[in-house]
Every structure is written in C-alpha cells, then in structure tokens.
Structure 1
Amino acid sequence: MKFAKGSILAAALVALSSSIAHAGVTLSVLIDTNPESIASLDVLTKAYKAKNPDVSFDVEQRAGGSEGDNIVKTRLATGEMADVFEYNSGSLFQALKPEKTLADFSDLKSEANVRDIFRKVVTGSDGKVRGMPFGPAMGGGIFYNRKIYADLGLKVPKTWAEFMANNEKIKTAGKVAVAQTYGDTWTSQLFVLADFYNVQAQVPNFAADYTANKAKYATTPAAQRGFEHLEEVFKAKVSNADFGAAKFNDGLRMVATGEAGHYPMLTFGIGTIQQNYPDNLKDLGFFAQPGEDAAKNGLTIWMPAALYVPAKSKNVAEAKKFVDWVGSKEACELMAKAVPSGPYLIKDCNLPKDIPQAVADMLPYFDKDGGTAPALEFLSPIKGPALEQITVEVGSGIRSAKDAAALYDQDVQKQAKQLGLPNW
C-alpha cells in the first residue's frame, strides 16, 4: 500500500501529538511544613490526579519564618523555583517583585470565584492578579483551654487587663498561663501583629500614614502597645520555663491538653491539633486579642497563603490549569473538609457542619459588622524582616518595649526603600 508524502507527514504529526498528550507531566510543588498546608495539598493533588491521570506531583517542603522567605526569594531569583509554590499574600507577596517573577492569573476562569478581599492582596502594581487562595482565612488571637476556664470560673476577656487577671488566676492554680515558643522565632510576633485591630480602632489612619512614613511604632502609643504586651507577660512570669526553646507544636500541645491556659497564635493551628490531639479538640477555644476598650473588641485577620506559578516555570500552562481548578468550589470544599479551621475566600464554598469549637468561636467576629480588620501586612507593603528577632528579645526580657518599637521602625526602612515607596 502506498501513501502520499503529505499523508505520511500528517500521520506522523498525529502520532507525535498523541504521544505528547499522553506522555504525562510532573508538576513540582513547594509548600511549608505546616500540617494544614500538607493536608490541603494532599486532598487537592489526589483529586486532581484522579481527574487528570497524566499529571503527577513532586512535593517538597520548606522551612517557615525568615528562613522560608529567603528560600523562596533565592529560588525565584535563580530560576530554581518549583512549578507551583505556596507563600504568603500581602506585603511578603509584594516583596517578591511579582510583576517580574510570577505568572499572571488574570485569565483563569476561577478568578471570578475569588473574593475581592483576597484578590487585592495578590495583585501586583500592574493590576494583575497572581495568586490563588490556599487554605482558610485566619484569625490572630489567643487559643485558650476551655476546661481550665470552666474549672476556674473564668470568662473570655474583652480587655487586656481582664486577660492579665485571668493569667494570674491560672498561675495561682499551678498552671502555665501563657505558652510561649521562641524556639520557632516567628511565633513570638503574635502579641504585636494580632493587636492591629486595636491599633486601627484607636488610630484609623495608621496603615496609610505608616506606609507614607508619617507614623511610627515608637511615636504611636497604640502601636507600641503590642510590644508592651510582650514585656508585661514576661515580667508577670506567667509563661513556661522553657519558652526560649519550646516550639510551635509544643505550644499547641500545651493549650490543647491543659498544660497551659493560653497560647497566642493564628487559627491555622486548629488543624494541627485536630490531627495530633483529636481527643482534646473540644477543649480548645479561641478569642481575639483584647485591647483597651471592651466596646471595641474585634479580631485581626490574616488572608490565607496563596499558590503561585513562577514566570520561568517550564510547565506554566499545566501549572496554571491546576491552580485554576484549586479556585473552584469543588476544590475549595475538599480543602474545607480536610482543614475546617476558618472561612474560605472562594464564593459559595461551605464549611462542613461539624466544625471545631475554636472555629465556631471565630465566626461571630466575621458575622459582626466591623468585627474584623486585616492585619497590617495586608494594608501596607511594609513588614520588617527582623521583627521576629526583636519580639523574641522583648518576650525574653532582653530589650524593652520602647527600644524594640524604635528598632523596628529602623528595620522597616530598608524594605520601604527597596520597594521604592515615596517619602522614604
């Protein structure tokens, strides 16, 4: 049988395209070591692979905190970043120079499902969206042990004075009142960062003035208060003796099992407790970090991390297909079932009915008009890299709150200049 040259070439091209289509793609993925991140990615990749058998995933984990920041920035700069990676939204996203380093997601169909409050914190200076929410929104506040509160007849505090009074009662009962875990330095920042709802309640324009170099921590009493909280807790001697060496998982264990009455933390820790201490989950409660005025009690919230695709990835198209699916209602509800630790920012994405008590404690703040405020890092691109070292010093009694606020004001200058912000 004879074939014309053209038909032979056409047949060859069809065979080649078919082999390419079924050759398979392996997407490399970089995430942090947080158990919630791992659980979320696990359900997503398994479901996506079931729908797309030719796609495989090679997952790598990285450190958190400033070490993780350096890993992400270095790998982006050297072109060695994974095809898909998970990282913070907000100010740390802006520090990646997203207009140059990250793929544009504006053409993804699922972007219409993403709530505007999140889109704003993953949009570059060019107006292009470059991130997809990964995980729930988080509250920054204080986990507490409900059993200890019930045994001692304590009430959830609405002011800092009430919180410190509860700490004294817990200490008198022979318990650790406030678990601190400076072995993971990033955890030391919570009393400062989670206080921003209270800062904004007193100084509504602080974020804008801070970004414009018109307001400082050291010269704004409401802002300096977060550092003072750290100092007060140290001086009251209400923390665990090993606070300098204890780590994140130790703090979660302590508050869940009743070794400690409180642990200042983001609510993503709920998922870790659900996995590691399921029998104690019912004993875990949560409240917003109290301020000075009980009538102005509210919650500082963190936007979830996002999934990004580096512009230099060799698999940009396939990576964006995966990220596009992550933004669907189907994918979101898979994550919500695996990690029901807060509200998700995909429209019509429902939490399961049997949510943990600590999540139920958080939701009323979201339901109340004006009950939440974004953390400063989502309202300003400025966040100094040395904050976690400074807060460790204050929480350890090495540096005063006043000196720490002034030092942090110096720390942010370099980043503000690198970002090219006016008036710096």
Structure 2
Amino acid sequence: MKKKMISILLCAALGITTLAGCGGASGGTTVASEPAAAVAEESKESAAPESTEAAESQESTAAAEAAVDGGGETLNVLCHSSWRTDEANAVFDYVAEKCNVKFEFEEVPEGSSGNELIFAKMQSGEVPDILWWQGAKTSATEIGEDLFVELSGDWVNDYNASILESPNQTYNGKLICAPFGDVTVFGMCYNKKVFADNQIEIPQTWDEMMAACETLKAAGVTPMYVSGTTDNEWTLQIIPIDARLKQESIVPGSMDSLNSQEKLWTDMEYMQLTFDRMKEMKDKGYIQDTFLSDSYADAQEALLTGTAAMYSQATWIYAELTKLAESQEELENIGFFPIPATEAKDSIAYTETPTGFVVPKEGKKVDLAVQIVGELVTKEAMTEYYKMHQGIPAVNGVDVKLTSIPADVSALIEAGKTSTLPNTIYSTPSMASDVQAMLAGDKTPKDVLAGYDTDWDTYAKEAGNPDWGY
C-alpha cells in the first residue's frame, strides 16, 4: 500500500516523531510510529527488503538473548485501580514470562483519595518496587525528586528524545519515568449521530459551542455530560488543563511568566474566562443536574447511548468505550474534536506524552525493578499492548489501525491542530476539588485560580524558590 507521510505540529512539539498512515480495508487508518531517520531511509529499505528482514531478525534474536532473568522474584507495583486494563496486563504478562518475574499489584482509587494513599505509603516507608503513576514532574514535585532512581538502558533507543525529555519523563535533567502507552490528546468526545440528527457541525469557536448546546438542550439531549462525583472529580480537570495551552497560544510566554512568578494564575485572563464559561454552562442547564453524583462510567454510557451529546475527556477514554460499546458501529459513532476557543485559530488540542513507571530508591529490589521497568516499555512489550489497543504510540516501530476517537485524533495531529505546553514548574492538586466546588456553587472561578497560586506558593516554599522570596 502507498504510504502517506503525516506532517504534524506534534512533530515540532515532541521533536522528530513521524507517523505514517495508509487506508485500511475497513476504512480505518494504520499509523506506524517510526524514527525520522528510518523514514528518511525508506527508499533504501524498499530496495533491500531481504537485508532489512535479516537485520530485524538479528535484532529480535539479540533482544531475546539480552532478556533479564528475574529469578522468579516478585515485584510490588503501586497504581490506580483503573490503570489495570487488559492491554496493560498483557504487557505485564509478557514481561513476567520473558523475564521470569512475578508482579504483585497494590491498587488505590482514582482521584485525590488515591493520590493521598500513595503519598501516605511513600512517606511511611511502605515503598513499592515500582510506582506506576503520574510521571516525572508530578512525582518529583509532589513526592520528592531525590526519592526516585535515574533510569537508563537499551530501551531508550525505542523512543525519540522529544518523548524522553518531556516533563512527564525528565525532571531537572534526570530521566526518572519510563513512558508507558499513548501520546495523549485532551478534547471533546461527541456522539456523531446526535450531532447529525440535530444538524450540528463540529463547533470551531466557543460561541458556536454554546449555540450547539442550546439546540441540544431544546431537543431534550444533555449537551455536555459532567462526572463530578467523589473520586471522579479528576475528570473535571480536562477543560482547565486544555485551557492552559490556549492561554499560552493567545498570550505567548504565559507559562514562563508563571514559572518565574512575574505573574500569578489569577492574572491569566483566558484561564479566568474558561472557568467563567464552565460555570455558565452549568447555570444555563447545559450539563445534567445530577453531575455531583454521576461518574466516569456513567458518562461513557451516556455518550454511547446518545443521552448526552458531548463529554470532555482525553484519548484514554477510548479503551473504556471499547469494552462498553455493544457494537463496532456504536463505538465508531463516537468522535473527537478540540475544545473550542474564543477564535477558531486558537481551537487546538492539548497533547502530552505518557505517564509511566518510576522506581523509588527505597524499594527492596531497586536494581531488578530498574531492569524490569525497561523491559515493560520496550518496542516488543508495547507491541503486545497495541495488539489490544488503539492509540498514538509514544514508542517507535509499532503499527496500529485507527478508528473512532484515535482516527479523529490522528487527523487532528495531521492537520496541525494539536500542541504540547511549555513546562510548568509546579502542579495544581487543588484543581479537581475546587472545580467541583465551583460547579456546585461553593467557590467562584476566581477562587479556583487563587487555589492554583496557593498550591504553587506551597511548592515554592518547600523548594526554597528565590523567585517567591524563599
């Protein structure tokens, strides 16, 4: 089949990642994650297929010979319960058999309650061999930079530098998180049939979004579903996180001014506007009245059945929808578009590299854990993952056929409608609960941003940051 090179803004943001796609027999798109150098050599490879096959065979043999032998040891892995998907388990099973190890999982709930349990365990000395969590920056700032091992190994050759050097993988120049899974895109999931039945086009601006919501409300459909129940409040962060990218796009240098404390979060006008808009949607009845008791699982059901037209979420939701959808047709009826900005030119979708595995220095089997983490994220192990999963791979050299949400996201990437965000030095753990309180009427949009500033001041004080006067 003829290959079509995808020129993407993600290349500029994530480095030299290149995607190659071709139309499948069933109308899907096949995406191959490859190093740019390999793509540049495509004509040479096609002229010498036997040589290429021989090299690949030698590479596979070498990988098998170099496999770690864990001697039957058991490694403890601490993670959120929902992260134990079938495709993730397939990777752990593959590595367990290949490397003669066993995995024992300790699972915590989603959201702030689960995070607090992780913090408590780390602080009390109940340290896992492998922490499967939120990536390098969050692990370093919320638990402690010096508590995790710097990673290395042959596995890094399966990833572009742009992935490995991202804030989810590297903090203060140290690679401490091995990436596991997809490049993630934040945006709006929608029911295509509901849109078509109500003659609604994908909104390109916020005004168009509000007009669509009014049409949907009049038709008796929940315009945008919100899952705000306890332990699901993390889902309320999608629109605010995406808004950071739009803030930076509209006012370049915004994140740098926050990092140096030249400005506060309460000075970020587009962020303030975003929270005002979220509150307006609630006040106008564009989200369901029961949002404080509705969950992430409820949202998936509403989206698939068409009782709700839209749900703000990231591309990881696709794995959940594949389990819940009653047919391929129902699954492919769910699409994805960027959360609209004030102007169409700014309606781009926030993109980030995967979270993954960090190894605590105080674990009981540190050396083995480092080796096994490397095995879990190799191209060979991730091939097992993508046998069961659609998404945009962070690892190079894995072919995936895309439909539904992943296909729409691939098209956005190709069209230059996605981008990453400049690094922000601290996290905002108050965000989820504060947005929940704002929608419930207990906080104002300004209060939410003030909470961001309080979070950052706390981190700055703990770090002795001179820009904050500490």
TM-score by length of 1: 0.87
Who is 1:257 aligned against? 305
Deviation larger for 166-175 or 56-65: 56-65
Contact 2:185 2:315 in 1 (8 A): yes
Who is 1:344 aligned against? 393
| Cα separation, 1, equivalents of 2:408 and 2:139 | 29
Contact 1:385 1:412 in 2 (8 A): no
Q: AA paired with 2:457?
A: Q
Who is 1:290 aligned against? 340
* Aligned equivalent of 2:113, options 67, 80, 103: 67
Question: Is 1:28 equivalent to 2:45 in the alignment?
Answer: no
| Cα separation, 1, equivalents of 2:215 and 2:137 | 39
Please state whether the residue corresponding to 1:117 is helix, strand or coil: helix
Once the two structures are superposed, the pairs formed by residues 1-400 of structure 1 within 5 Å of their partners are 24-34=72-82, 37-52=84-99, 54-89=100-135, 91-96=137-142, 99-106=145-152, 108-120=153-165, 121=167, 122-125=169-172, 127-183=173-229, 184-279=232-327, 280-340=330-390, 342-351=391-400, 353=401, 355-369=402-416, 371-375=417-421, 379-400=423-444
Cα distance per residue 1:263-288 (max 9 Å; x no partner): 11111111011112252311211111
Please state whether the residue corresponding to 1:163 is helix, strand or coil: helix
Please state whether the residue corresponding to 1:139 is helix, strand or coil: strand
Alpha carbons of 1:212 and 1:273: their partners in 2 closer, same or farther (altered >3 Å)?
A: same
Q: How much has 1:368 moved relative to structure 2?
A: 3.6
| Cα separation, 1, equivalents of 2:415 and 2:135 | 24
Q: How much has 1:22 moved relative to structure 2?
A: 8.6
Contact 1:197 1:372 in 2 (8 A): no
Deviation larger for 254-263 or 297-306: 297-306
Contact 1:85 1:307 in 2 (8 A): yes
Please state whether the residue corresponding to 1:398 is helix, strand or coil: coil
Larger Rg: 1
Q: How much has 1:394 moved relative to structure 2?
A: 1.9
| Cα separation, 2, equivalents of 1:89 and 1:398 | 31
Contact 1:384 1:415 in 2 (8 A): no
Cα distance per residue 1:207-257 (max 9 Å; x no partner): 111111112232221221221121111111111121011111111111122
| Cα separation, 1, equivalents of 2:71 and 2:268 | 60
Alpha carbons of 1:113 and 1:278: their partners in 2 closer, same or farther (altered >3 Å)?
A: farther
Contact 1:105 1:111 in 2 (8 A): no
Contact 2:379 2:396 in 1 (8 A): yes
Q: How much has 1:304 moved relative to structure 2?
A: 1.5
| Cα separation, 2, equivalents of 1:242 and 1:196 | 28
| Cα separation, 1, equivalents of 2:257 and 2:245 | 16
Q: AA paired with 2:436?
A: V
Question: Is 1:415 equivalent to 2:453 in the alignment?
Answer: no
| Cα separation, 2, equivalents of 1:399 and 1:50 | 51
Contact 1:143 1:262 in 2 (8 A): yes
Alpha carbons of 1:185 and 1:225: their partners in 2 closer, same or farther (altered >3 Å)?
A: same
Count of paired positions: 394
Q: AA paired with 1:112?
A: N
Please state whether the residue corresponding to 2:282 is helix, strand or coil: helix
| Cα separation, 1, equivalents of 2:326 and 2:420 | 30
List gaps (5 residues or longer) in structure 2.
1-68
Who is 1:401 aligned against? 445
List gaps (5 residues or longer) in structure 1.
1-20
| Cα separation, 2, equivalents of 1:85 and 1:411 | 23
Q: How much has 1:330 moved relative to structure 2?
A: 1.3
Please state whether the residue corresponding to 1:324 is helix, strand or coil: helix
Alpha carbons of 1:420 and 1:22: their partners in 2 closer, same or farther (altered >3 Å)?
A: closer
| Cα separation, 2, equivalents of 1:333 and 1:22 | 21
| Cα separation, 1, equivalents of 2:218 and 2:108 | 41
Alpha carbons of 1:407 and 1:317: their partners in 2 closer, same or farther (altered >3 Å)?
A: closer
Please state whether the residue corresponding to 1:310 is helix, strand or coil: coil
Q: AA paired with 2:160?
A: R
| Cα separation, 1, equivalents of 2:156 and 2:435 | 37
Contact 2:243 2:270 in 1 (8 A): no
Give aligned-pair identity as a percent. 23
